[in-house]
Structure 1
Amino acid sequence: MVAKKHAYLIIAHHQFEQLNFLVSLLNHERNDIYIHIDAKVKDDQFCKLQADLKRICTKSGLYFSERVDVHWGDYSQIESELKLFQATVGIDEYYYYHLISGSDLPLVSQKVIHQFFDKNPGKLFLTMANKDQRAIYERVAYHYIKPQLSVRSFRSKTLKKGIRFFRKCEVRINRILKIDHYKQFDTELGYASNWVSIDKKMVDLILENTKLIYTIFSKSLLCDELFIPTLVNKYNLKEKIAYDHIMSNVPLELQGNLRYINWWDGTPYTWTDSDKDLQELKAAKKAGHLFARKFDLERYPKVKDFILSEVNSDL
């Protein structure tokens, strides 16, 4: 029996030495690797990265998707994900698709990851999140002016305050006018972490609905956390979600997408090489998490040896 292949879809915009390390850990005969590099990255940097990664990928197929100029909180985040899903079409029939960031690292070997998904065919691995129902709904109910502008667009505290005030005014005006662009779609809005592991059937549904996704989300805010779970609702696929409990954002809680992300200490927290953090990552692995984020190996280079030790201990 031929082993079924996996597609890793990576979104990255900086820290390319760390990206090289990540790809080296994913380099396996059962994996193909697809990478989206932000269009803001200069061409010479991109070309060097391509050459470096081609040398690293001795076992996996390596592909680069069409590049998008990504802005936090904007539809361009969804667009970059769609470009990655589209890049896989015609290459292979993948068993699972793992959407991760360049700041993620695996906590286990590829052998463990493949064995886990071999035992869980057809399941969707999403982290269902806590939500203020009204605030989440208003992300798509209203059409926002220049949604690519957010507090992360500016360094100036004054400008950050200005954009917050502007968005509050937008929301208030839309509330007063009782605008609701979403009600026409007659589908329950979903909310989950944007980092997912999903099967081919779900990817096919995403690609079949690219026009609908654009129509609903192109003028919304923080929409990358909404479009996949909304399609899950539209097609009544909730029973396929492996862990459908709502995350409480507490340490060592199993997160449904199997990526251990620390939201209780940051937005999210960056793991350090402190003994406390490394012990928590070990406990997260033991609890069943396959990946963690986010990491910064430039600031905490000792984490690299820790990750190598954890991954190699499974071989």
Structure 2
Amino acid sequence: MKHAYLILAHNQFEILEQLLVLIDDPRNDIFIHIDKKVVDLPVLQTELANLWILEDRIDVRWGDVSVVEAELLLFQQAYQHGPYGHYHLLSGVDLPLHGQDYIHAFCQVNSGKQFIGYSSGDQSLHIERKVQRWHLFPRHFRSSGSLADNLRRAIRFIGMRVQLVFGIRRNRAIQFKKGTQWVSLTHDFVAFMLQHTQRLLDTYRYTFCADEIFVQTLCWNSNFRDSIYNLADEAEGSQRLIRWKDNRLYDWGDQDFGLLHGSALLFARKFNTQHMKVVAQIVSTITTANGKAT
């Protein structure tokens, strides 16, 4: 069965072009959402895979529910062209670490599994802060330093303090889970998720970084829980190699090729155009193994 690649992109399109090279396969359909704020759209094309660049674009803001909206839009568009064995959600600065033969074979062996990463340890404080409080002006979490943004930040701070003092909490009845937003889902689970689109948007409006929570929570509180590939290890569970250190995401550098090349995980994030050597090495290694010219 074919696979769907769903890509959220907003910058560094040179890496997106290389990502397309690696997933350009007749067994794949590719769907790309480019942030509405992007004015000069890149020229993207494939030779073997069907490619759709979404015309309906969302102004995606970090930490805001608009990230969830863009993801759901991608899943909805892909679902209409399905069914697919798996729907792989990637950013435009991610890359596969293996060829398509490997990825399709791995997913075939694990047919019916949800590749969703779950954070280990006690996440209750993170969850309470992010989705059990009301966050004001969520589209402006990242301040530009303007007077208006400073005023919004002050109001948001006061609003949060009031909720803490008076014990105001929302979404009390939901058992939340969190992890990386980058997932690979089955057709049946995507159908289930899309059935709950409006409820998801209503639940996570005026929250913070719900993109790290909504898929994990929906799956956990459903009959699909038993189909989660790995609950104990976030990287194995999501099949994403991601460099986190001190709660900060780091880009892969040119010195990291050995680690990336030696990984059994399917995908890695995130790359940067300042370190294109490692990108070129990954592309060359995979395309050479596939018998393609680099």
Which residue is 2:285 aligned to?
A: 310
**Pairing 1:190-209 to 2, within 5 Å after superposition:** 190-209=177-196
Tell me the alpha carbon deviations over residues 144-168 of structure 1, each in whole angstroms, 9 at most, x when there is no partner.
2101122x33368x99998776554
- Using the alignment, how far apart are the partners of 2:170 and 2:247 within structure 1? 33
Aligned to 1:300, the other structure's residue is in SS state: helix
- Using the alignment, how far apart are the partners of 2:206 and 2:280 within structure 1? 43
- Using structure 2 for the length normalisation, give the TM-score: 0.90
Which residue is 2:248 aligned to?
A: 267
Residue from 112, 128, 132 that aligns with 2:123: 132
Does 2:18 correspond to 1:21?
A: yes
Does 2:168 correspond to 1:179?
A: yes
> Which residue type is aligned with residue 58 of structure 1?
E
- Using the alignment, how far apart are the partners of 1:90 and 1:246 within structure 2? 32
> Which residue type is aligned with residue 228 of structure 1?
V
Which residue is 1:64 aligned to?
A: 53
> Which residue type is aligned with residue 208 of structure 2?
L
Which residue is 1:258 aligned to?
A: 239
- Using the alignment, how far apart are the partners of 1:182 and 1:265 within structure 2? 29
Are the counterparts in 2 of residues 75 and 220 from structure 1 also a CA contact under 8 Å? yes
Are the counterparts in 2 of residues 187 and 233 from structure 1 also a CA contact under 8 Å? no
Does 2:85 correspond to 1:115?
A: no
> Which residue type is aligned with residue 244 of structure 2?
W
Tell me the alpha carbon deviations over residues 252-309 of structure 1, each in whole angstroms, 9 at most, x when there is no partner.
xx432111000027731111112xx2222123x2xx211111111x312212331123
Aligned to 1:289, the other structure's residue is in SS state: coil
**Pairing 1:23-172 to 2, within 5 Å after superposition:** 23-42=20-39, 45-46=40-41, 49=42, 52-54=43-45, 57-65=46-54, 66-130=56-120, 131-150=122-141, 152-154=142-144, 167-172=156-161
Does 2:7 correspond to 1:10?
A: yes
Aligned to 1:145, the other structure's residue is in SS state: coil
Tell me the alpha carbon deviations over residues 46-75 of structure 1, each in whole angstroms, 9 at most, x when there is no partner.
2xx2xx323xx1111111222000000000
> Which residue type is aligned with residue 277 of structure 2?
K
- Using the alignment, how far apart are the partners of 1:62 and 1:153 within structure 2? 35
- Using the alignment, how far apart are the partners of 1:236 and 1:159 within structure 2? 45
- Using the alignment, how far apart are the partners of 1:291 and 1:163 within structure 2? 38
- Using the alignment, how far apart are the partners of 1:127 and 1:116 within structure 2? 17
Are the counterparts in 2 of residues 74 and 223 from structure 1 also a CA contact under 8 Å? yes
Give the direction of change, closer, same or farther, for the CA distance of 1:34–1:215 in structure 2 (3 Å limit).
Answer: same
Aligned to 2:102, the other structure's residue is in SS state: helix
Residue from 255, 275, 278 that aligns with 1:300: 275
- Using the alignment, how far apart are the partners of 1:265 and 1:103 within structure 2? 21
> Which residue type is aligned with residue 20 of structure 1?
E
Percent identity over paired residues? 35
Does 2:175 correspond to 1:188?
A: yes
Which residue is 1:240 aligned to?
A: 227
Aligned to 1:260, the other structure's residue is in SS state: strand
> Which residue type is aligned with residue 100 of structure 1?
L
Q: CA deviation at 1:76?
A: 0.4
- Using structure 1 for the length normalisation, give the TM-score: 0.85
> Which residue type is aligned with residue 139 of structure 1?
K
> Which residue type is aligned with residue 135 of structure 1?
H
- Using the alignment, how far apart are the partners of 2:140 and 2:210 within structure 1? 14
> Which residue type is aligned with residue 194 of structure 2?
L
- Using the alignment, how far apart are the partners of 1:171 and 1:96 within structure 2? 39
Aligned to 1:255, the other structure's residue is in SS state: helix
- Using the alignment, how far apart are the partners of 2:241 and 2:77 within structure 1? 27
Are the counterparts in 2 of residues 71 and 77 from structure 1 also a CA contact under 8 Å? yes
Which residue is 2:261 aligned to?
A: 282
Q: CA deviation at 1:34?
A: 0.2
Q: CA deviation at 1:314?
A: 4.0
Which stretch has the larger CA shift, 57-66 or 118-127?
57-66
- Using the alignment, how far apart are the partners of 2:224 and 2:63 within structure 1? 26
Give the direction of change, closer, same or farther, for the CA distance of 1:294–1:162 in structure 2 (3 Å limit).
Answer: farther
Are the counterparts in 1 of residues 97 and 268 from structure 2 also a CA contact under 8 Å? yes
Task: Structure 1: state its 5+ residue gaps.
Answer: 248-253
> Which residue type is aligned with residue 143 of structure 1?
W
Are the counterparts in 1 of residues 24 and 48 from structure 2 also a CA contact under 8 Å? yes
Does 2:222 correspond to 1:225?
A: no
